[in-house]
Amino acid sequence: MVLCLFWYMNPIPAATMDWFALGQRYEHGEGVPRDVVRAVQYYCHAAELGSNPARFRLGWLYAGGGLLPRDDGLAAAWLRPAAAAGDRASRRVLKRLGHQPPSRRRCILPDGREWVDLALPPTRERIESWVRALAPRYGLDPEMVISLIEVESRFDPKARSSKGACGLMQLLPETARRFGVADIWQPLQNLKGGMAYLRWLSSVFKGDIHLVLAAYNAGEKAVWRYHGIPPFSETQGYVKRILALYRQAGSGREGAVWPSGRVLAVSPQ
């Protein structure tokens, strides 16, 4: 759980931009053999992680770009979130397509098969790559989020606690709803919901990493009630384990500045 060493301003993570750039290279054969399948796969990765340029490219290709089977409904499904985020090109293409019924976003390859890589159980390596791409969008240090996931679920997307917490970041159903998670078991949605919660906790507790971690485990009300880390052995151990993993990752350094502007002091408690 937690706060980043500085607040990132770029709305598209660098890793996401790398996937988008790779998609462009394979789509146009720039320095590599032209490969539409790889282009779609890279665009799909980038789009699912929030790249509006990648969403536009997929929408454009499905709207009649010539390289993929035309599917106006699928094109609209990819263009809508980009248009909602203010992308003018996506708005123009959507207007040209006219009314299209809601459709699930999918990555259909030139031969008509659906690329389902994102729907398969992800490896730890892929989960870490998603975290490194997504965390900066929430003002979070990826290494801290990775440390939290290790303690929460050991990177098991199907993990479920005795209290009903679910998925990689062990979200309770009410927390998932609160932060806009439609499918708590979908790994990317679970990650986004957990990181949205962490960003909120960071704001509430003024960047105090110990309180943010304690609140993620025991709830913000418990932290308020005890004016600090609650005297629960589970919560106290939880905070210590995550901070220990964070230090091992080499990111928990004294003197780092959090989004709140306060100096980070990762000392044992």
Radius of gyration of the chain, Cα coordinates, nearest whole angstrom: 20
Beta bridge partners of 3: 140
Angle between helices 14-28 and 36-48 (to 10 degrees): 160
152 is catalytic: yes
Cα(78)–Cα(68) distance, integer angstroms: 14
Q: Residue 1: name the closest of 167, 146, 134 by CA.
A: 146
Q: Dig out the tokens for 38 from the structure.
A: 């790889």
Cα(5)–Cα(256) distance, integer angstroms: 6
Cα(245)–Cα(242) distance, integer angstroms: 5
Cα(238)–Cα(86) distance, integer angstroms: 41
Cα(1)–Cα(210) distance, integer angstroms: 10
Residue 234, phi-psi category: left (phi > 0), alpha (psi -120 to 50), beta (remainder): alpha
Q: Which of 125, 152, 174, 220 is catalytic?
A: 152
Q: Dig out the tokens for 47 from the structure.
A: 């789009």
Q: Dig out the tokens for 134 from the structure.
A: 């997504």
Q: Dig out the tokens for 155 from the structure.
A: 């990177």
For the annotated catalytic residues, the residue numbers are 152
